[in-house]
Each structure stands twice: as structure tokens, then as C-alpha cells.
Amino acid sequence: MTLFRFLPLRISSIVAGLALSIAPTLVLSQTGAANLVAADNTPSTAAYVSTPSSTAAMASFTTVGELSTVPAPVLTAKAWLSLDVNSGQIIAALGPDERVEPASLTKLMSAYLVFSAIEDKRLSLDQTVNISENAWKTEGSRMFVKPNSQVSVDDLLRGVIVQSGNDATVALAEAVAGSESAFAALMNDEAARQGLRDTHFVNSTGLPDPTHLTTVRDLAILSSNLVRRYPQYLHYYGQKEYTYNNIKQPNRNRLLWADETVDGLKTGHTQSAGYCLVSTADRNGRRIVSVVVGAASDAARTENSLKLLNWSFQNFDTIKLYDDEKPAVNARVWEGQAETVGLGALQPTWVTVPRGMGPQVEPVARYTQPLIAPLTKGSKVGSLTLSLEGKTLRENSLYIMEDVQEAGFFARIWDKIHLLFQ
């Protein structure tokens, strides 16, 4: 009787040590063609935020443009980058990690923090903000607000985004954080949270400072996060003109007039930074962000950006490989009430490839074995690597997609014995 009582514990300890020593990871390769989902469905608009780890890993992945037979256009800019928002993949880039002055592209982060404050109920669109002497005196492009006047957050956002007003930007920074310097600290905290490794902000406006720097990679990630997380505010970026204080000013993004699919985002210019433009367009549910910095003129940044957008849309496909309810792989479960469990992503998995090459994508799942119940939905257990022609395009975490309860006593013992011979 005593021997029988302790036998399951003895078997359990032997099995656990043996199984982990001989089978730490299972690698499963599947053909991509069998798992592709039609690409003409509009992708999920769920919030997407890059993490520091995913951002760092992005630098080691193959850009999709390297696998295309159609070369990227020749652009007359210091640095540039094209990113597919749906998949999060860089299509092509020149100098992606070269540190540059962002000029008024800085206001993308300023607006991001204002949107966040509105969503958190710390500000409201109809709330009025007092215009300080400090905000009124800010040099550079202006909304022409008057000192000690009360202006709504909604009007100030139009002043920031449409008119690129530095005075409006400082006013909102002070409303959110109390001072512009405190707001700049929040900007840097948010940059770190998003994994913008080479970005440092000194002010809210983009006025030149030797340490106020970023990269086109970081700007693309920030812009992608902005349009994914705050689509309800994207209409500000598509507004072509705005009148305040009887002064009409046009949006400096000339692509709004040149291409009806373009709905943002932001221009920037100083003598030292040159002409810069972060643009985005949505065509049939697929969104691209292009970043061009250091162009020689307003016309050059517009032409370069349109070339890059057109090339990115015309020569690449973005396909949904797995739905958030469709597992990438069904894995064996031990000691559970179910024999298998689906492993997949928490959000739909999209991948960008050269046009027509979707069926050639090869997904490889790697996950720790054995998977022993109980298992909890949402637990991370491995990774899914997506490759094309032997080149890694992206890597996603693998999560357990449903709870699996522990099996009964005798079923668990049976699985423990089976594990000894795996």
C-alpha cells in the first residue's frame, strides 16, 4: 500500500527530468500555401504597439525589397523608409538608423501624447487651454494664437497638425504636462516604451537642438503606432486647410491634393534638416507609411514620397497568413483533458512579400516540449518564424489559444509513462 501511494510521485519526477532533457524544443515546418487566407479582407484595426524587443529584432530581418526583382526608386533624399502598417514589415530603406533632425516631424509624438491624454480623460476636445506667454513667444511656424486667450484642444490640434504651429504645440504640451520640459520627458518615456532606440526629444516642436534626433526607422514605427492606435484622430491629418484668427493656412503636405488615398501625416523643415515628410496612404484596406528626410525642396519631398508609396503598393502584397482564431499549429498536450491545443498569435498575422510570392512563405513553429496541462490561454510558449527563399521576414510569439484543464489521476499517470518512451 505504501509503495503504491508513492509510485506516481516517483514516476512523475523521473518523467519530468527525462522529458525536459531529451526534448526541450519542437520545431514544426509547414508549407505556407496551405495556410494562406485570402488577402482582400480588410485587416484588423486593433491597436498595435511595437515593443522594444520586437523593434530590436526588426533590424535583423530581411527587408522585403531585397527579395523583389523590381528595384526601389532612386530618391533624392538623405534617408528614407517604406513600412507596411498591416504587417509591420519594412519594405525598403536607405540609412534607416542614421540619426537625423526630425524638425516638425517631432509633432507626431506630441500629438500622440495629446491623443493619449484625451483617451485617458485627462483632456477633452472641447476643453479650453490658456495660451501662456511662453507658448505665444515660441518661434517658427505659428497658429497665431493670442497670449492669455482660451483656445479649445480641438482648435489647437488643428493648429499643430494642419498649420504646424509651434505656439499651439507648446500650449498643448503645457496643458498635458505643466511645462514643455516636462512634456519632453514624457515624449522620451513614450519613445522608450515603443522601442525607438535612436530617438531623443528636447522639445515638443522640433526646433533645432544638437541632441534632438531620431531615425527614419523610429519615425516609421511611431507613425505606424499612431495610425493603428488612434484611427479616430486621423481625420486631422487629412484636413487640407484651417483658418484661425482670420488667417487661413494650407496643410503643407501637398500629397493630400496629388493622391486621394493619402490621408496624412506630417511635414517638417528647417535649414539644417532639409525638407521632410512622413506620408501614409490606405488603398483597399492596406496601409503604407513612407518617411523621407533631407530632401532639397518641398517639391522633391513630395515627389520622392509619392514614388515610394506607389512602388510599395504596386510591387508587394500583404496577406493574412493566420487569423487570431486560427492556430498556426496544433500541439500535443500531455496530462490534459484535451489531446491537442492550438498555438498561434493573439492578433491576425499579416506578412508582406513581393507580388505573387505569397504561396512560397514558409512558417516554422518552435515551442517548448512537453506541454503539460493545466495550460492557460494567452501563455507564451514559443515563436513562429516566417521565411521566404531562406530569408527571415518576421517572427511572432506563439501563444496557447485555449485553456486546457488537467486530466484525471489515471490519465495523467498513463501520459507520464508514455513520456518515458518519447
Three-class secondary structure of residue 411 per DSSP: helix
List all residues 6 or more positions away from 207 whose beta carbon is below 8 Å from its beta carbon.
138, 139, 140, 166, 270
Q: Of the candidates 318, 346, 226, 210, which has an alpha carbon nearest to the alpha carbon of residue 273?
A: 210
Side-chain half-sphere of 315: how many Cα atoms within 13 Å?
19
Cell readout for 334 is 500531455
Check if 68 is active-site.
no
- In sequence order, which residues have a C-beta less than 8 Å from that of residue 127 and are 6 or more positions away? 152, 153
Query: Using CA atoms, how far apart are residues 388 and 386, in angstroms rounded to an integer?
Result: 7
Q: Catalytic residue among 68, 87, 164, 290, which?
A: 164
Which residue out of 107, 266, 320, 416 is catalytically annotated? 107
How many CB atoms sit inside 10 A of residue 335's CB? 24
Kind of pairing, strands 274-283 and 262-270?
antiparallel
Q: What type of residue sits at position 239?
A: Q
For residue 272, give the C-alpha cell.
539644417
CA distance 398 to 400: 7
Q: What phi-psi label fits residue 210: left (phi over 0), alpha (psi between -120 and 50 degrees) or beta? A: alpha
297 included as an active-site residue: no
Contacts of 260 (CB under 8 A, 6+ apart): none
**68, 104, 223, 305: which one is catalytic?**
104
- Distance of alpha carbon 365 from alpha carbon 80, whole angstroms: 33
Query: ∠156-287-114 over CA atoms, to 5°?
Result: 20
Q: Is 78 a catalytic residue?
A: no
Which residue numbers are catalytic? Answer: 104, 107, 164
